[in-house]
Amino acid sequence: MIYTKKSPALLIIGVLMLVWGYLNASGGVDGMQSWLQKGAYSDHMKVKEKFDAELRVATEMAAAESKPVPAMKMAASNFDKVKGEQAQLSYIVGGLFAALGLLILVWTPKEGNLDYYLGVVPGTAFIVGIAFAVRWVLDPVFANWGKGVKDAGILSWDFAHIFNLNYVVLGIVIGIVIVNVFSIPGWAANGVRTARFFLKTGVILLGVLYSAAELAQLGGLSVIMIGIFVLGSVGMVLFMGRRMNAGNSMTGILSAGVGVCGVSAAVAAAPVVQAKAVEIAYTIGTILVWGVGCMFLFPTVGHMLGMGPVQFGAWAGTGILNSAQVAGAALAFDPNGIETLKVAEIFNITRVLFLPIIVVWLAAWYVKHEEGAQKVDLKQVLVAKFPVFVLGFLGMFALSSMGVFAPAGHYQGKYFSTEQIKEDHWLKGKETRAIEGELKRLQEPEGAKALKDHFVAKAINIGQRHATPDDAYKAMQNLIDSKKMMSREQDAILNAVAKMSGVDAVAKGAVEKASKAAWHNSKLIGAFRNWIAWLFAIGLTGLGMQITAKALKQAGGKPLIIGGIVGTVKAVGSLIVVLLFVKEFV
Amino acid sequence: MSEQQFERGTSLSIFAADRREDMGALIAALLIALGVLLVIGK
């Protein structure tokens, strides 16, 4: 059988990518990019402003000394980096596709390996091209749109953020629209089936972002609570799914989505239980709809029950499934405080870290139920059928836990380091004087009382005790003496102090500057995240193209019922546990 | 070339068997990880 279809499509896609790369490299789409990449563009304007000022001074000095103006080059801004990355990727991928597109046009295919794999490339290029459009255009368009609607006061919340309208969901939606409205072109049909391969590669790489050291740093209570509720809800979905005949793959993926961390868990578990594209779509839909409801309900219930920041953070982090919605609920409960958000995120991260355990559990569960383990030797079946890519994921997790990829503490993408603070980021005289002024003011009886009340109200803790004004005084004196942040604890306390009402604006700015200078981006983790995002964007776009309206009708409403029941049990159960056992510390 | 050798697997994959797809993904992931480590460094 011959798989390669003669078509100019691959060549056209490759050339379009090369054109996009050229337009980015030459500045031909700067106007559009400045709107799409608003954050990066604002950074660009700051860098340019600074450069223009330096150039002006250098020109004036050179003129005064009758010397030629020294050659100066503007530092690369985030905007330049974004455009550079788009140009580079477009050149590499577009060049490859264009070359293979030419080969398809001139070569007469014969049955064999070349035909087998070349036949896949046009369809792969099709989903890669759409993934480029989703990540580079649609994702920022929705992000700007959501923010714009919020800023204009039409909605009090960012709908794009809350409904998770990022490249993950948009990739699937675009895929669904293409297959149902236009249908997949014949030349692309074979390549669309590479979607699962991309997802599996992404899942294996996901293991790099987990570290046993991170898990060990989390509070004992969060690990116990999340452990009980994650494992409990996964078990409950598996039980209900079997009872309601929802199908093994549907049940498996829904259990990961409802139990662990929403969309990314569903994506990671999908190949483990050989879930169909439509089952992934149903799971993601159930999680997002459920999460949005929780996000509005949780803060209201929290206020009605008079919950404290730690209690609410623990509840939201356990009961709500999606990371963005956890943050949304925490901020809705306490818009000016960081403690609720911090606690909610600790629980959220703990839940995400349970993913490796759930992946192994689901792999074993699925193999057992698909093969009917009562009749055969489970060990033998596992050896024959256990998905190898899960071992790859666990292998990456083990390697990252051993520090092969990055030192412990870097896995969140940002890390604290005093040593790496550049000298020009140290605090200046005016800034340290402003902090000295605040230190004196807060040491007065009135200031000390306000500080103490603020720490209690916002539940600012150091380990297993409340932070005291003395902790703040020491941290402030230390910052004045060293002109930079010396520890994470100092950073946390001073950030809490800076959020007090009535704090001098210069002192507040100085603390924020010192904090920002102490936190660094991990380039390595950033690069891994970027790769994973691309693999998921490509895979999910391809998966979306396998979801037809007919398949959606066939799937029925069982996932929504199971997800709703288990989600409610988890939310109510975690509320009871939080009210009974969580008081002030996590 | 036999028909079986170049037969696609399920409609979800381009590979004839899941294990082959897993191994392909594993190799791709290892190459990416190695590439990132070499290009960016630790």
Residues A332-348 pLDDT 10s: 888 766 677 777 877 87
Per-residue pLDDT tens digits for A66-106 = 888 888 888 889 999 999 999 999 999 999 999 999 999 99
- pLDDT number for residue B2: 44
Q: Contact at 8 Å (CB) between A263 and A168?
A: yes
pLDDT band for position A507 (cuts 50, 70, 90): very high
Over residues A276-303, the mean pLDDT reads: 83
| DSSP at A112 | S
Per-residue pLDDT tens digits for A565-584 = 998 999 999 999 888 887 65
Q: Contact at 8 Å (CB) between A504 and A431?
A: no
Q: Tokens 């099709």 correspond to what residue?
A: A126
* B12, closest residue in chain A (CA to CA): A193
Q: How far is CA A418 from CA A119, A187, A486, in A?
A: 53, 55, 6
Pairwise CB contact (< 8 Å): B14 & A528: no
The percent of residues above 70 in pLDDT, for chain A, comes to 94
| DSSP at A462 | E
Which residues sit opposite A414 in a β-bridge? A521
Q: What residues of chain A, 331 to 390, have a C-beta less than 8 Å from chain B? A: 387-389
Flag the least confident range among A178-182, A378-382, A456-460, A482-486: A378-382
Q: Contact at 8 Å (CB) between A211 and A411?
A: yes
- pLDDT number for residue A393: 85
Distance CA A25, CA A512 (A): 35
Identify the residue among B11, B36, B38, B39 best suited for mutation to test binding to A, counting A beta carbons within 10 A and taking the highest: B36
In angstroms, the separation between the Cα of residue B28 and the nearest Cα of chain A is 7
Longest dimension (CA), chain A: 94
The percent of residues above 90 in pLDDT, for chain A, comes to 40
Per-residue pLDDT tens digits for A125-160 = 999 999 999 999 999 999 999 999 999 989 888 888
Give Cβ neighbours of residue A558 (< 8 Å, ≥ 6 apart). Answer: A241, A244, A246, A250
Distance CA A281, CA A175 (A): 11
Look at residue A548 and tell me whether its pLDDT is greater than 90: no
Q: Tokens 């992931």 correspond to what residue?
A: B29
The closest of A239, A537, A232 to A354, measured between CA atoms, is A232
- Residue A575 in tokens: 């509320």
Q: Is the dihedral of CA A18, A22, A28, A30 positive or negative?
A: positive
Flag the least confident range among A191-200, A477-486, A505-514: A191-200
> Which ipTM value was assigned to this complex?
0.84
Pairwise CB contact (< 8 Å): A388 & B23: yes
| DSSP at A136 | I
Q: Which residues of chain A have a CB within 8 Å of the CB of B26?
A: 204, 388-389, 392
Over residues A533-545, the mean pLDDT reads: 88
Look at residue A521 and tell me whether its pLDDT is greater than 90: no
Q: How far is CA A548 from CA A249, A424, A577, in A?
A: 18, 57, 42
Flag the least confident range among A284-298, A349-363, B8-22: B8-22
Q: Which residues of chain B have a CB within 8 Å of the CB of A204?
A: 25-26, 29
A492: Cα within 13 Å, side-chain hemisphere? 18
Instruction: Name residues of chain B where pLDDT drops below 70.
Output: 1-13, 42
Q: Which residues of chain A have a CB within 8 Å of the CB of B36?
A: 524, 527-528, 531
Look at residue A1 and tell me whether its pLDDT is greater than 60: yes
Identify the residue among B3, B4, B20, B21 best suited for mutation to test binding to A, counting A beta carbons within 10 A and taking the highest: B21
Q: Is A201 on the interface with B (CB under 8 A)?
A: yes
pLDDT band for position A24 (cuts 50, 70, 90): very high
Q: Which residues of A191-213 are buried (b: 16+ CB within 10 A; e: fewer)?
A: bbbbbbbbbbbbbbbbbbbbbeb
Q: Which residues of chain B have a CB within 8 Å of the CB of A527?
A: 36, 39-40
Identify the three-state secondary structure at position A465. Answer: strand
Q: Contact at 8 Å (CB) between A396 and B28?
A: no
| DSSP at A308 | -
Which secondary-structure segment (H or E) carries A404?
none
pLDDT band for position A322 (cuts 50, 70, 90): confident
Identify the residue among B2, B5, B6 best suited for mutation to test binding to A, counting A beta carbons within 10 A and taking the highest: B6
The closest of A270, A259, A137, A252 to A195, measured between CA atoms, is A270
Q: Which residues of B28-42 are buried (b: 16+ CB within 10 A; e: fewer)?
A: bbbebbeebbeeeee
* B11, closest residue in chain A (CA to CA): A193
Q: Say which residue, A455 or A128, is predicted with more confidence.
A: A128
- pLDDT number for residue A515: 93
Q: Contact at 8 Å (CB) between A77 and A43?
A: yes
Chain B positions with Cβ closer than 8 Å to A: 1, 3, 6-8, 11-15, 18-19, 21-26, 28-30, 32-33, 36-37, 39-42
Identify the three-state secondary structure at position A1. Answer: coil
Q: Which residues of A481-497 are buried (b: 16+ CB within 10 A; e: fewer)?
A: ebbbbbeeebbbbbbbb
Q: How far is CA A444 from CA A81, A441, A504, A506, in A?
A: 48, 5, 15, 20
- pLDDT number for residue A336: 65
Identify the residue among B26, B30, B39 best suited for mutation to test binding to A, counting A beta carbons within 10 A and taking the highest: B26
A410 burial via Cβ count (<10 Å: 0-12, 13-18, 19+): buried
Look at residue A462 and tell me whether its pLDDT is greater than 90: no
